[in-house]
A and B are shown apart, each in its own frame.
Chain A
Amino acid sequence: MEMTSTPLRRWLSRGGHFVILAAFVTFCAFPFYWMLITTFKDTHDLISTTGNPFLFNNPPTLENLRVLFVDTQFGRWLINTVVVGLSVVAITLVLAVPAGYSLARLAGRWGQQLAIGIFLTYLIPPTILFIPFSRIIGAFGLQDSLWSLVLVYPSFTVPFCTWLLMGFFKTIPKDIEEAAMIDGLSRFGAFFKVVVPISMPGLLTVVIFAFTLVMQEFVYALTFITSSSQYTVSVGVPTFLVRGDVYFWGSLMGACLIVSIPIAIIYNFFVDRFVAGFTVGAIK
């Protein structure tokens, strides 16, 4: 009531709203703006202290990106990341889709407990498990191999994806499977031939989520991988490109930006679903 009484008040409240949002947007997005401008600055401009650093004092250049792709193994790291990501997504789907369906439809009371138990394992962090893993990986002869990451990453993608899929399958009307089963399909047949195909939005969410988790992962890759040709992007860039006293800031920022922006755009479409997954139980 007080808020909308006079035009002046309304104007003030709108102005305040704008100022608050502008401040937050600056805080959140400034590092990315700074990456963008650094990527295209030439080296002299970067280290000159005379000009305004927010602007291009010398003409923009693609030299930093050339260095990144030609003189470093960045391209290789991108390929490694995609290989690991796709493998982990495949394993995650094979394990989490049946598990999510089982918890949503076939499990009784123990299902509820088990579902919460599976969700809680997502909270056990890599920083507790990486020390025993470093030895387990060695025992399997997988040290310094991308396969070590393919083996270990599903340990955090499967719990959360099972949880997400369980929520998703619960929203599908039971009549659909019952109708399919009356038509002569077994329960498994109904699940595989009817439920899975109409669950594509849920499966897509899981694919995106598992893939982005792989791109974000840092601790295991840092622990298991030692040779630069086997790095993933999230470890290769901060360890290999930041070594020594000479920093190639332009190339570094370019690397960060090239990886971050596409993920951010894709993720943006799915964010509401992830939030629903995070908050099951608290919102009704």
Chain B
Amino acid sequence: MSADVVRARGLRRFIDDERWLGRLLIAPAVIYIVALVGFPFLLAIYYSLSDATVGSRTLHFVGLRNFRLIMDNPTFWESLRNAIVFTLVSQVLVVVLAKILALALNKNFRGKWLVRFLILLPWVAPISLGVIGWLWIFDPVYSIINWGMRAIGVFGPDTWPIWLGQPKLAMASVIMVDVWRLLPLATVIILAGLSSIPQDINDAAAVDGAGFWRHLFRITVPLVMPIMLVALLFGIVFTFTDMIVIFVLTRGGPYDTTQVLASYAFFTGIQGGDLADGAAISLFLFPVLVGVAALFLTMARRAEVT
């Protein structure tokens, strides 16, 4: 009996210890994240309600004035619209193309590692540098796309599009570059989902005589759905909040036709020096992030239950 008591006491001390050790080990990381993500985020909200500028040290509370001014600014609405078009069109393309590419990569064939390496390049190379490659490809005078199209006879002698200089083409170009950048991530995520489908399900379907399309839409697509959603959510976050592609390729031009919220916030807040307006503009990114986070939470809860 005394041995039991000793063990119980030791156990209790042990549990208490563990609990404190757990908190102690995680505290530095949590403090760092709160100080460098939570605090600046609150500050962003505060700035958006103030008249902060780069030059002055003092700031005053001005309520919702900045938001009212932004709402009256046509460039803001244009940026919001562009950001939505940019995100939606590129993500629809990414999901469809990534699904096709993942199905093609799911087979075994010679040289697969090389193909995978080449396909991953756009994702793993630093974004700003990869995009400079496209800046050269879209060059108004030496564009290799135009040269190639003319060489194979698609473009006549009078056709020479200026990819980044004409409004509609500029939007199409930045969307294409964004698809190029995010396609590899979505592909490897979907590929991971495909390879997690148990082989006996595929075998059972084959025995039942399911053809390619039936198999695709009745088995593959439903089973890969959750993971496609993960790829899509990351794609939405990375595209909607991105300014690198726009900054390097068009700086929002021509005439703000490729200006998105993130780049507009940068040009207003940092280059224009109007921190308050910049903060207010960038906060319009937040609702989308909340939506994405809510979906992630739902999925995490479901994964916990099953």
Contact = CB atoms under 8 A, between A and B. Distances in A.
Contacts of A152: 36
Interface residues of A, number: 102
Contacts of B193: 279, 282-283
Interface stretch (B65-73, B84-92, B162-170, B227-235): B227-235
A158 B278 contact: no
Contacts, number: 304
Contacts of A272: 188, 192
A25 B125 CA distance: 15
A253 interface: yes
A219 B134 CA distance: 19
Given A21-B115, A255-B129, A98 B124 contact: no
B60 interface: no
A256 B279 contact: no
Contacts of B172: none
B299 A282 contact: yes
A38 B136 contact: yes
B219 interface: no
B299 A20 contact: no
Contacts of B104: 17, 20-21, 24
A135 B52 contact: yes
A17 B112 CA distance: 12
A34 B136 contact: yes
A209 B101 CA distance: 25
Contacts of A56: none
Interface stretch (A60-68, A196-204, A235-243): A235-243
A98 B30 CA distance: 11
B241 to A, nearest CB: 4
Contacts of A125: 237, 241-242, 262, 285, 289
B65 to A, nearest CB: 17
Chain A binding site: helix, strand, loop or mixed by DSSP? helix
A112 B118 CA distance: 37
Interface stretch (B1-9, B74-82, B206-214): B206-214
A282 B47 contact: no
Interface string A67-106: 0000000000000000000000000001110110111011
19 contacts: A17-B104, A31-B137, A32-B125, A101-B25, A106-B21, A114-B30, A121-B38, A128-B282, A128-B286, A155-B33, A218-B244, A219-B243, A233-B126, A238-B129, A238-B132, A256-B133, A265-B117, A275-B192, A276-B192
Interface of A: 1-3, 17, 20-21, 24-25, 27-32, 34-35, 38, 46-47, 49, 53-54, 94-96, 98-99, 101-103, 105-107, 111-112, 114, 116, 118-121, 123-136, 151-152, 154-155, 158-159, 162, 187-188, 191, 212, 215-216, 218-219, 222-223, 233-235, 237-238, 242, 247, 249, 252-253, 255-256, 259-261, 263-265, 267-268, 271-272, 275-276, 278-279, 281-284
